[in-house]
């Protein structure tokens, strides 16, 4: 389900919204003419279970929410058909989202409509592959059951991704990757448990639901924990970034800007969303190795550095990577941090690697880091104009900077998709440092 109603692409969103709602209304209207009877006990139990599932949603990392309703919808769909399943979904959506949570009508109607589409599409696939509504013969109809569950998941996830992509961004495909692809085993487990519930319900009746209650609850809880851990990991990375503020407020602002630039470049290069996320984390903590006091004198020194000072400064990527690598899920991020000062010509540090041996994330971070360093005030100089910074990047492409990444930045800049992130002036930075020293 979506959680936003402010279109980022108004025309496309209106077209999409009209198509979804109109299709749902047509399907429901046609089904009303010849809808089958259904046992009231099944409908009441299904409604209560769906209300419970809808009241405890899990927030998805890319926006929107997900419930364990699939594990109730599928049994209902297979036992009483798409009309009654859609009807119960609509009632549940309007009660929970409309009356209890008081969400905007446009959002409630959309979420109800995608449940209707999912129910009718899944039933059509199920019957096309030989299944019959009201019966669940397993394993005889296993392919039909699997296709039915998969269709329900794909319709729901596609509509959610389209809605978020058109209202908030980035693209719907990237929203789908972040929300569904990364945790696809959890989502498919909901489908499998929903099918299991249907088999048990059809053979053992309503009391048979007790047999699957525990695995259903555990699966839903595991999914929630997985999403929360992912959110906690991002919070942890941001907390690591804030550690730098204790040493130099400038560094934190720099890391956040570099993170924004890195994400733009990674998506401009069409990197998978899982990789984009790793690059974002790496950008946030890429200067973590500079937390030592010896680095602050070097960073603020107006003149040239001595050989020893250069050696100290060049140790920060490896030092930062060692800190980050202590978190098991950030080990790939640590490699990006370690290599973000390597150069295509092999003159970088700490290992003097060439492009082919440097992770793409590190090459992206290298360009984003340099771009921000040139376009923001430093303690010893003013920011360069964007045109001058672009010229420097273009001049160093293939030697100091990765050529493909630089070309991507230039392309995005020319298309108006690489706006400068505001940075504090030298005067602002001086005030921040003063406040930090005074402890205010």
Q: What is the pLDDT of residues 49-73, one digit of tens each?
A: 888 888 877 777 666 677 777 778 8
Task: Looking at 248-339, list the stretches that DSSP marks H as alpha helix, in order from N- to C-terminal side.
Answer: 249-268, 273-285, 293-300, 307-313, 316-324, 331-339
Tell me the mean pLDDT in the region 21-29: 94
pLDDT score of 213: 72
Name which residue leads in pLDDT, 94 or 149: 94
* Per-residue pLDDT, 37: 80
CA distance 359 to 419: 25
- Containing H/E element for 155? helix 142-167
pLDDT at residue 308 tops 70? yes
All domains of the chain in start order, with CATH: 10-231 (1.10.1760), 248-438 (1.10.3210.10)
Provide the pLDDT for residue 222. Answer: 78
Highest mean pLDDT among 63-72, 164-173, 375-384, 418-427: 164-173
Q: Is the pLDDT assigned to residue 36 strictly greater than 70? A: yes
Residue 418 has pLDDT above 90, yes or no: yes
Contact 331, 349 (CB under 8 A): no
Q: Give the Cα separation of 280 and 274 in Å (integer).
A: 10
Give per-residue pLDDT as tens, 195-216: 777 777 777 776 777 777 777 7
Token pair listed for 428:
């602002």
Regarding predicted confidence, which is higher, 162 or 2?
A: 162
CB distance 337 to 317 below 8 Å = yes
* Residue 66, H or E segment: strand 65-66
Sign, CA dihedral 364-365-370-372, equals: positive
3-state secondary structure of 62: coil
pLDDT band for 305, please (50, 70, 90 cuts).
Answer: low
Q: Which two tokens stand for residue 53?
A: 């599932």
Q: What Å distances lie between residue 206 and 39, 65, 123, 201, CA to CA? A: 11, 28, 22, 6
d(CA 106, CA 297): 56
Specify the DSSP class assigned to residue 348.
-
Mean pLDDT over the full length of the chain: 83
For position 4, what pLDDT does the model report? 45
Q: Which two tokens stand for residue 266?
A: 């990674």
Residue 396, pLDDT > 50, answer: yes
How confident is the model over 395-415, as a mean pLDDT? 96
Structure-block tokens of residue 390:
């672009």
pLDDT value of position 88? 93
Count of helices and strands (H, E) across the chain: 19, 2
Q: Read off the pLDDT of each residue in 261-277 and give the average, rounded to a whole number.
A: 94
Residues 6+ apart with CB under 8 A from 7: 13, 14, 166, 167
**Which stretch of 34-38, 285-289, 335-339, 349-353 has the lowest confidence by average pLDDT?**
34-38
Q: Which of 166, 136, 149 is nearest to 64 (CA)?
A: 166
Q: What is the DSSP letter of 36?
A: P
Q: Cis omega before residue 328 (within 30°)?
A: no
CB contact at 8 A, 54 and 67 = yes
The predicted pLDDT at position 440 comes to 46
* pLDDT for position 134: 82
Q: Is the pLDDT of residue 250 over 70?
A: no
Calculate mean pLDDT across residues 95-118.
92
What are the CA-CA distances from residue 100 to residues 54, 96, 97, 108, 300 (Å)? 11, 5, 6, 12, 56
Task: State mean pLDDT over 384-392.
Answer: 94
- The rounded percent of the chain whose pLDDT value lies above 70 is 85
105 pLDDT exceeds 70? yes
* Gap between the Cα atoms of 436 and 173, Å rounded: 43
pLDDT band at 315 (very low <50, low <70, confident <90, very high): confident
Confidence of residue 404 (pLDDT cuts 50, 70, 90): very high
Beta bridge partners of 59: 65
Token digits of residue 57: 């949603």
What's the confidence (pLDDT) of residue 21? 95
pLDDT (mean) for 96-106: 91
Cα–Cα distance for residue pair 31/26, rounded to 1 Å: 9
């Amino acid at each position: 389900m979506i959680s936003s109603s402010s279109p980022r692409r108004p025309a496309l969103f209106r077209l999409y919204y009209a198509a979804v709602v109109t299709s749902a209304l047509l399907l429901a209207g046609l089904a009303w003419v010849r809808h089958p009877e259904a046992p009231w006990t099944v409908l009441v139990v299904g409604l209560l279970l769906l209300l419970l599932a809808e009241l405890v949603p899990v927030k998805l990392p890319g926006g929107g929410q997900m419930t364990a309703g699939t594990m109730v919808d599928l049994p209902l769909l297979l036992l009483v058909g798409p009309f009654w399943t859609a009807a119960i979904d609509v009632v549940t959506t309007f009660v929970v989202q409309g009356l209890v949570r008081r969400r905007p009508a446009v959002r409630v109607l959309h979420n109800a409509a995608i449940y209707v589409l999912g129910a009718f599409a899944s039933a059509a696939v199920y019957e096309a592959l030989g299944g019959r509504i009201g019966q669940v013969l397993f394993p005889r109809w296993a392919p039909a059951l699997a296709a039915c569950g998969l269709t329900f998941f794909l319709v729901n996830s596609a509509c959610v991704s389209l809605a978020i992509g058109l209202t908030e961004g980035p693209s719907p495909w990237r929203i789908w990757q972040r929300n569904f692809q990364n945790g696809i085993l959890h989502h498919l487990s909901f489908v499998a448990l929903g099918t299991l519930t249907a088999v048990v319900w059809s053979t053992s009746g309503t009391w048979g639901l007790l047999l699957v209650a525990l695995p259903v609850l555990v699966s839903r809880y595991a999914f929630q924990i997985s999403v929360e851990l992912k959110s906690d990991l991002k919070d942890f990375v941001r907390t690591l970034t804030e550690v730098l503020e204790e040493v130099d407020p400038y560094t934190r602002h720099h890391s956040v800007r570099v993170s924004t630039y890195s994400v733009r470049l990674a998506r401009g290069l069409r990197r998978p969303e899982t990789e984009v996320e790793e690059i974002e984390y790496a950008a946030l903590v890429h200067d973590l190795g500079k937390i030592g006091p010896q680095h602050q004198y070097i960073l603020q020194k107006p003149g040239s550095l001595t050989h020893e000072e250069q050696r100290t400064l060049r140790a920060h990527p490896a030092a930062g990577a060692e800190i980050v690598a202590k978190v098991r899920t950030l080990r790939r991020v640590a490699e990006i941090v370690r290599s973000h000062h390597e150069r295509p010509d092999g003159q970088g540090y700490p290992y003097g690697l060439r492009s082919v041996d440097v992770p793409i994330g590190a090459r992206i971070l290298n360009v984003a880091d340099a771009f921000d360093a040139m376009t923001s005030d430093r303690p010893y100089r003013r920011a360069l104009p964007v045109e001058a910074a672009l010229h420097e990047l273009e001049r160093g492409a293939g030697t100091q900077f990765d050529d493909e990444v630089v070309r991507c930045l230039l392309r995005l800049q020319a298309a108006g998709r690489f706006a400068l992130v505001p940075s504090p002036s030298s005067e602002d930075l001086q005030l921040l440092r003063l406040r930090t020293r005074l402890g205010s």
